[in-house]
């Protein structure tokens, strides 16, 4: 491979690092903040942000850099083109109508999951996630996706896992997470209680392709006051079926 191609590849990687850095921030970012977060030299950061702003991927304001309008156009194109998002909606609509709970489909992106489809019941949760919301893999339904990560990558992740205080107050350790992931891998499902938000209960099932690879998850979520002491167990077969139907249509 020529030096020119290597440099082009490195430039592209750096540009994507900048976009992902700005995406992860809830507020506009100054040039120095982007430089520090990405580890890029300030002059390199300035060159990349200028190019991205000119192309509409970033917007420059007095407060700092934000994602630009072109990103929204890409998101719209994704919803039109992505097969998983397209086939999921009618399946989720049926799942929500028969259970009365919020249903969603997430896919893995690195060490996070992204919401690609969602259907709310008439009386929805107190909080709502927009399409495109990015969440961690080590909480709630993300564990089904995390359980499908190749063993070597998962071992490295758990070896460096610092632990997490869940919304219930329970301290999640690397060992407790490993045990939950083993169960999720064996059953293809996971039920969580007050992990991300107090009082919420969710049931998640893996969606697989024709080769059996996990390509996403179907998630059903509600609040503790709407279910019995058995949790969401009586809806398990419906969630699993929804995940299977989606996978069969891909």
pLDDT over 60 (residue 6) = no
- Average confidence (pLDDT) over 117-129: 86
Does residue 165 fall inside a structural domain? yes
DSSP 23-56: HH-SS-B-HHHHHHHHT--HHHHHHHHHHHHHTT
Q: What pLDDT score was predicted for residue 180? A: 98
Q: What is the CATH number of the domain that holds 169?
A: 3.30.450.40
Does residue 75 fall inside a structural domain? no
Same domain, 88 and 56: no
Predicted confidence band of residue 162 (pLDDT cuts 50, 70, 90): very high
Same domain, 62 and 110: no
Does residue 10 fall inside a structural domain? yes
Predicted confidence band of residue 230 (pLDDT cuts 50, 70, 90): confident
Same domain, 100 and 178: yes
End of a domain among 22, 46, 68?
68
Instruction: Report how many domains make up the chain.
Output: 2
Question: What tokens were used for 157?
Answer: 């992740």
Same domain, 108 and 202: yes
Does residue 217 fall inside a structural domain? yes
pTM for the complete prediction? Answer: 0.90
Hunting for tokens 């996990």 — which residue is that? Answer: 214
CA angle 59/63/16 to nearest 5° reads 40
Same domain, 172 and 237: yes
Same domain, 209 and 119: yes
Q: What pLDDT score was predicted for residue 3? A: 52
- Return the CA Rg of the chain: 20
pLDDT over 90 (residue 72) = yes
Please state the φ and ψ torsions of residue 225, each to the nearest 5 degrees: -70, -10
Contacts of 119 (CB under 8 A, 6+ apart): 89, 92, 93, 95, 96, 102, 103, 104
Same domain, 47 and 86: no
Which of 8-22, 152-166, 168-182 has the lowest average pLDDT?
8-22
CA angle 64/66/69 to nearest 5° reads 140
Tell me which residue range forms the domain holding 56.
3-68
Euclidean distance between the first and final Cα of the chain, in Å?
36
142-153 pLDDT, tens digit per residue, is 999 999 999 999
pLDDT over 60 (residue 2) = no
Same domain, 103 and 17: no
Does residue 74 fall inside a structural domain? no
Contact call for residues 143 and 184 (beta carbons, < 8 A): yes
d(CA 240, CA 87): 16
Does residue 100 fall inside a structural domain? yes
Q: What is the CATH number of the domain that holds 23?
A: 1.10.10.10
Question: What tokens were used for 154?
Answer: 């998962």
Q: Name beta bridge partners: 115.
A: 106
188-210 pLDDT, tens digit per residue, is 999 999 999 999 999 999 999 99
Does residue 73 fall inside a structural domain? no
Does residue 233 fall inside a structural domain? yes
d(CA 138, CA 129): 18
pLDDT over 60 (residue 105) = yes
Same domain, 138 and 179: yes
Same domain, 168 and 116: yes
Same domain, 61 and 106: no
d(CA 155, CA 16): 27
Residues making up the chain, counted from first to last: 250
Same domain, 39 and 97: no
């Amino acid at each position: 491979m020529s030096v020119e191609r290597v440099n082009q590849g490195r430039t592209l990687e750096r540009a994507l690092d900048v976009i992902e850095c700005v995406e992860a921030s809830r507020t506009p970012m100054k040039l120095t903040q982007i430089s520090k977060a990405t580890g890029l030299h300030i002059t390199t950061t300035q060159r990349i942000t200028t190019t991205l702003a000119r192309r509409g991927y970033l917007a420059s304001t007095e407060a700092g850099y934000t994602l630009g309008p072109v990103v929204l156009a890409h998101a719209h194109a994704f919803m039109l083109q992505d097969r998983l998002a397209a086939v999921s909606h009618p399946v989720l609509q049926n799942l929500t109508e028969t259970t009365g709970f919020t249903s969603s489909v997430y896919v893995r992106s690195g060490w996070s999951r992204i919401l690609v489809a969602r259907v709310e019941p008439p009386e929805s949760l107190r909080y709502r996630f927009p399409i495109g919301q990015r969440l961690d893999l080590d909480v709630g339904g993300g564990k089904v996706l995390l359980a499908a990560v190749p063993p070597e990558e998962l071992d490295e992740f758990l070896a460096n896992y610092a632990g997490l205080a869940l919304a219930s107050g329970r301290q999640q350790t690397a060992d407790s997470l490993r045990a939950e992931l083993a169960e999720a891998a064996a059953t293809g499902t996971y039920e969580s209680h007050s992990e991300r938000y107090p009082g919420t209960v969710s049931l998640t099932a893996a969606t697989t392709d024709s080769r059996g690879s996990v390509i996403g998850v179907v998630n059903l979520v509600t609040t503790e006051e709407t279910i019995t002491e058995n949790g969401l167990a009586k809806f398990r077969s419906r969630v699993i079926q929804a995940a299977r139907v989606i996978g069969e249509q891909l």
